[in-house]
Amino acid sequence: MFETTLFQLTAVIVLGILSQWIAWRFRLPAIVVMSLAGLIVGPFLNLFNPQESFGEVFSPIISLAVAIILFEGSLSLDFREIKGFRHSIYRISTLGAFIAWILGSLAAHYLAGLSLDVAFVIGGLFIVTGPTVILPLLRQAKLKERPATILKWEGIVVDPFGALVALFALQVVFWVNDFITGTSLLLFFGASILAAIIGAGAGFLLGRLLEHGYIPEFLKSPVVLTSVLLVFVVSDMVMHETGLLAVTAMGIVMANMHLTSIRDLLHFKENISVLLISSVFIMLTASLTVDTLLDILNWRMLLFVLAMMFVVRPISIWLSTIGVGLTNQERTLIGWIAPRGIVALTVSGYFADVLTNAGFSDGNILTALTLALVFATVLAHGFSIRWLSRKLGLQATEEAGIMIVGGSAFTAVLAEAIQSFNKPVLVMDRSWGALFESRQLGIKTEVGDILSEHTEYHVDLTPYEVLVAATEDDAYNALICQRFVPELGREHIFQTPIHIGDPSDYSKSFGGRKMFDQEYDIHTLNRFVEEGYMIRKTQLTLTYTMDHFLQDDAHKTIPLFAVDEDNHLFFVADGKKRAIEPGTTIVSLTSPTRKMEKALEKMSNVEVPTKD
């Protein structure tokens, strides 16, 4: 049973998703966990070898998966996102890539011992990073907007060009050695341009069909997925490795057509990409052999890897970003983060075969050299990005920020209470006047519609992992929650209780988790604050438990949220009672009558001195 192809295919998928979950649960770099899982079941325990089991379909599966992943990444490359630092991305993707190509080739020749011809080819390939490794790192690190966007765009844009640069270098090597004619070299440029035209044309045509209703809603995602595979295969048939350029061009064109259904497509593609990235990493690492891993330990390879990480990458970034407005901290971080991933692994195998068959004896070590660079960069950058970004002051926040939509008297005091625990808080509303109380209390505010495209591209929402919809419109609150569920997760989406109609009439799957008890809707809470209700903080102990807290007060006390000893904040939601440990601080909205009684009680305990 364990040797069947069906079982091994299922095992690859299960291991990939399990690795993603372990990485999320223990806050580890996902690509590191996936790589280790593949090594354990593959070369270490020798449980199965996907490359042997899947046979001839192994490479096509990897290629199609990479095409989908690259398209999904390019589908998020909206030019409105890079307003203000477009020049930085252009310089890094062109001049920076060229410098990295030349320096990487020299390092491969003088340090790794490759011939100049082979080094010229592999140096072009190693300029790639790619969405399969960059995007998981960015999700983990929570960088500030500018460095995160630059790294994302570089990874996606340079990925297909890295393969094309290596292919161009291969054509030049064959031309110099009289293996091909100058006409073949010209055909390379023609095929590359044709691939870009095919991808861009297909993207534009598909976008028009989607926008004008020629494709029904239930077929949109399947049609787009099928089109991506078709464009990739057709372009790759014209010339090997140009398919990556085609699907990237296709995604960028569709991203900048501002389609009404683009968000639905993105969510669908993101889900598929997570599955594919997980599975592909397991397949590639599980297919390695112990001999290949031992080859990585060669001192010349290790010296080459160190040069790529500590010399080639930093120099290429620092030289290419002169005068573009980036800070030294940003240039340092970008100059360090450059993990290689699936594209480098898959494409290097192709070049190794072609160069070996052409008579270049050192072509057979390209796979081991690529593996050494991939593993070293994945481990080093995966474990260091959070630490380095924090040291350089480029992490958006270490704390999970909270965004409150709806300005009012209650949300102002709620935001102030949250901020007192050193949590980033943002209050947003469509009305400047509605944010008056929040501004008075020193809370960060933004005027705008959370659902508008202007907000999406001009307000940095990266630091905020929790959303509270607290406007006076129940339907608008539910719509806000539904919009952000795919990005933040339902467990991090909250809204104030429904105040019109029977709450049971509303589907539980629509909207966010309901905060507080049902009777405390936003109108009631605002009235309480206007009547003088105040924020009260109560720390629970072994002798003063949550039960004591709830029974201690004859007047209204509304628990809002709690903060445990590790400074983790959780809201009172869905009417569910959860076990609250001693040391936790309960934050509640308390009647002014209770405050007055406490004050009188303290005054009564004060001894008044008497005259003799």
Low-confidence winner among 159-173, 317-331, 402-416 (lowest mean pLDDT): 159-173
Averaged pLDDT of the chain: 82
CA angle 345, 222, 131 (to 5 degrees): 30
What 3 state SS string does 166-192 have?
HHHHHHHHHHHCCCCCHHHHHHHHHHH
Please give the Cα distance from 528 to 413 (Å, whole number). 11
Signed CA dihedral, 277, 279, 285, 288: sign only: negative
What pLDDT is attached to residue 608? 45
Is the model more confident about 514 or about 101? 101
The full length of the chain comes to 612
Average pLDDT over residues 224-243: 88
What CATH class does 5-391 carry?
Answer: mainly alpha
Average pLDDT over residues 30-38: 81
Please give the Cα distance from 547 to 550 (Å, whole number). 5
Please give the Cα distance from 222 to 268 (Å, whole number). 10
* Strand (E) or helix (H) holding 539: strand 534-539
Question: Would the pLDDT of 598 be above 60?
Answer: no
Is the model more confident about 533 or about 612? 533
What pLDDT is attached to residue 398? 61
- The residue behind tokens 């380095």 is 388
* Strand (E) or helix (H) holding 352: helix 342-357
Average pLDDT over residues 107-135: 85
- CATH no., domain 401-604: 3.40.50.720
- Closest listed residue to residue 466, CA positions, set 485, 443, 450: 485
* Strand (E) or helix (H) holding 72: helix 58-74
- The beta-carbon contacts of 564-572 under 8 Å, at least 24 apart in sequence, are 567/399, 567/421, 567/422, 569/400, 569/402, 569/418, 569/421, 569/423, 571/468, 571/494, 571/513, 571/515, 572/515, 572/516
Please give the Cα distance from 141 to 336 (Å, whole number). 14
Average pLDDT over residues 573-600: 71
Radius of gyration of the CA atoms of the chain, in A: 29
Res. 226 pLDDT band, cuts 50 70 90: very high
Please give the Cα distance from 265 to 259 (Å, whole number). 10
What pLDDT is attached to residue 321? 92
- At 350 the three-state DSSP class reads helix
- Closest listed residue to residue 295, CA positions, set 361, 347, 373: 373
Question: Would the pLDDT of 60 be above 90?
Answer: no
Q: CA separation (Å) from 314 to 85, 334, 387, 388, 430?
A: 19, 8, 18, 15, 44
Average pLDDT over residues 494-510: 68
What pLDDT is attached to residue 291? 79
Question: Would the pLDDT of 595 be above 90?
Answer: no
Is the model more confident about 356 or about 494? 494
What pLDDT is attached to residue 314? 95
What pLDDT is attached to residue 32? 75
To the nearest 10 degrees (0 to 180), the angle between helices 145-176 and 328-336 is 50
Please give the Cα distance from 147 to 85 (Å, whole number). 10
Is the model more confident about 160 or about 472? 472
Q: Which of 314-328, 343-357, 447-461 has the highest mean pLDDT?
A: 314-328
- What is the residue extent of each domain of the chain? 5-391, 401-604
Average pLDDT over residues 132-147: 76
Low-confidence winner among 350-364, 467-481, 493-507 (lowest mean pLDDT): 493-507
Average pLDDT over residues 257-270: 72
